[in-house]
Every structure is written in structure tokens, then in C-alpha cells.
Chains A and B, each alone.
Chain A
């Protein structure tokens, strides 16, 4: 099963976290970092954040909005939403498989 966002290599996981963070509305870089940290309990460094963000923007999965002061918000594009939905559905199916094998769900 391929749970990676295509062609993002080691940035696949941070990219997925960023997409999930943007799924409830636009956020700027620092807001994404704190949101990801709150959601996963793990910090995301600024280098990792912008490495992933730049790749997501190149692939048209997120887009930058006009900056407010020095902060620039990002939002999901239509393609980004589709890719995220597919990724989450794959992960959900994978999680169900694992839990079923563990006897946690029927």
C-alpha cells in the first residue's frame, strides 16, 4: 500500500500533516506548526515546515494567499483536498486492517 503523497520522499509525512492542518481553513506558517504540534504531540521544525510547504505549493496542492504583515497564509487547493481525501482514506483502510488483525475491531 502506498501511503505517501507522491514524489515528496521524506517530506511526505510533514506534507500530510500540513494538508490536514489546512483542511479546516487557511493558516500561516507558525499557526500550522503549532496546530501540527497540538495534533500530534510532536514539534515540526521551521526548516521541515517550509521544505514541505514549498513542495506542496509547487505541486499545486496548497496556494499562498496575500501576506498579512509578514505572515503569509496558505490554503488547500481543490487538488490538494482530493489528494488529502485519498491519502486519509488509504490510511483509514490500512488502520482498519491493522486493528482487525489485532482483534480490536470486527
Chain B
């Protein structure tokens, strides 16, 4: 009777797993004060431990969700980005492609937040620092797009036009994505080739933008134009690759969740 009373001190979930064998162990030898005290302390520990596991499980759900959302956002952000900007450059249907560019920028902002939240488990300071520049860039870029839709080319801050705001934000986002790529490469949790591609696209952007803007003749202009398309493709593919690797990791969630935190 005392044995079953002691066993009932344990949580039901614990009893469902260990109850039978634990009862068998209790029956193997006489219960003295040491055993009774030990079992009662064990029961308190089991309650606290299971509560801790529940909290850890909620925490894991949170980062798994950030991985999933970040993965989809990176995948679609990369695709929208390429189609939107390449389409806007190649056709006259500006409205459609501008809409895609807005969707791409918002998607990449979500992707950066989601994947940073996932990677911040290991490198919180560096990850959030690397998140800052591209995130601010994405927001500035969105502000610039909104300005272009509402006031067109008219200057909005001094002599700065919405297009220039958009360009500054977009460049910050692209270059900042390079920082994000470096952190991702170091964290090893997502695809390193995709991070390398994203980082290379960011570095190439720094090299070709002065030529495209007419500020430098370091590179032949024709080469810079072709390179810009390649860089655009690399940037989009890098983000899409990170998205795919995040979603693959999400599929392997049972293994991920089994890892002790």
C-alpha cells in the first residue's frame, strides 16, 4: 500500500513510462526511511523535470516555427526578388514587377528575422548584429518604394528622391546580406554553399555598383551591366538556397527536437 502511495506521488506521464518497472524495483527490497525519502525527492524532481521539459518543448516549437517561416520567406523572397527586378528592367509592366519587388523585400525581411532567430540560438550577438544592417536596409527600401508610388520622382527629404532612398536601402540590404551570409557560414546550421553564394553576390555588388552609377571606371561598363544580372541571380539563388536548406532542416525536425538543448 505504501508503495502504491509513493508511486502516485509521481506525475501520471512519468508513471505511464516508468511506473511498472519502478513498482517492480520498489517491491524487490524492504522500504526503509532512506528509500522513502529518496522516492519522495525523486517524485518532486520528476514533477519539476517534466515541467522543464514542457518549457523546453515550447521553446523548440518557437525556433522550429522561425525556421519554417524563415525558410519559406527566403525561398519566395529570392524568387520574387529576381523576377521582380529582372522583369522591371526588361519590360514595361512596371506595376506588376514593382509589386513583386515589394513582396520580395518584405519576404526577405521576414526571412532574415526568422533565420536569425533560428541561428541566434548559438551566436546571439553576432547574429542579431548581422541582422541589423540588411533589416534596416529592407525597411528603408520599402519606404523608398512607398515614396515612388505616392510622389513619384519628387524630392522628399531635401534633394533626395524616393528612388534614391530605395536604392540606398536596397544596397544596404544586399551588402548587409553579406554579413548575414558570413554569420550563416560560421553557424553551419544552414547551407554553406548558399551562404557563400549570397556573400559573393554582396561583395560583387560593392564592386560593380560604383561603375553602374558612373562614379568609377574601375570596371568596363558593359561588363558591369552583365555582372549585375549575374549578381542579381546569385543574390536571389543564395537566399532561395538558404530557404531550401532551412525547410530541409525543418523536415528533419524529429532529430532536431531530440537534440538536448
Interface residues of A (CB under 8 A from B): 7, 28-30, 33, 43, 45-51, 53-55, 58-60, 67, 69-72
Contacts and interface: CB of A to CB of B under 8 A. Distances in A.
B49 A49 contact: no
Given A7-B260, A51-B49, A45 B21 contact: no
A72 B260 contact: no
Interface of B: 14, 17-18, 20-26, 28-29, 34-35, 37-43, 45-46, 49, 53, 258, 260
Q: Which secondary structure dominates chain B's binding surface?
A: helix
Given A58-B260, A60-B258, A48 B21 contact: no
Given A43-B34, A46-B39, 11 more contacts: A29-B21, A30-B24, A46-B25, A46-B38, A47-B45, A51-B46, A54-B49, A55-B49, A58-B260, A69-B24, A70-B20
A30 to B, nearest CB: 5
A45 B258 contact: no
A47 B21 contact: no
A72 B21 contact: yes
Contacts of B34: 43, 45
A70 B29 CA distance: 15
B20 A67 contact: yes
A69 B20 CA distance: 9
Contacts of A72: 20-21
Given A51-B46, A58-B260, A45 B24 contact: no
B35 A46 contact: yes
29 contacts: A30-B24, A30-B25, A30-B28, A33-B25, A43-B34, A45-B35, A45-B37, A45-B42, A46-B25, A46-B26, A46-B38, A46-B39, A47-B38, A47-B43, A47-B45, A48-B38, A49-B25, A50-B42, A51-B46, A54-B14, A54-B17, A54-B46, A58-B53, A58-B260, A60-B258, A69-B24, A70-B24, A71-B21, A72-B20
Nearest to B44: A47
A54 B43 CA distance: 12
Contacts of A30: 24-25, 28-29
The CB with the most chain B CB atoms within 10 A, among A51, A58, A69, is that of: A51
A72 B19 CA distance: 11
Contacts of A69: 24
Task: List the 10 closest pairs (A to B, CB-CB), nearest first.
Answer: A47-B42, A45-B38, A70-B24, A47-B38, A47-B39, A29-B25, A30-B28, A72-B21, A70-B20, A30-B25
Contacts of A45: 34-35, 37-39, 42
A46 B24 contact: no
The CB with the most chain B CB atoms within 10 A, among A60, A69, A70, is that of: A70
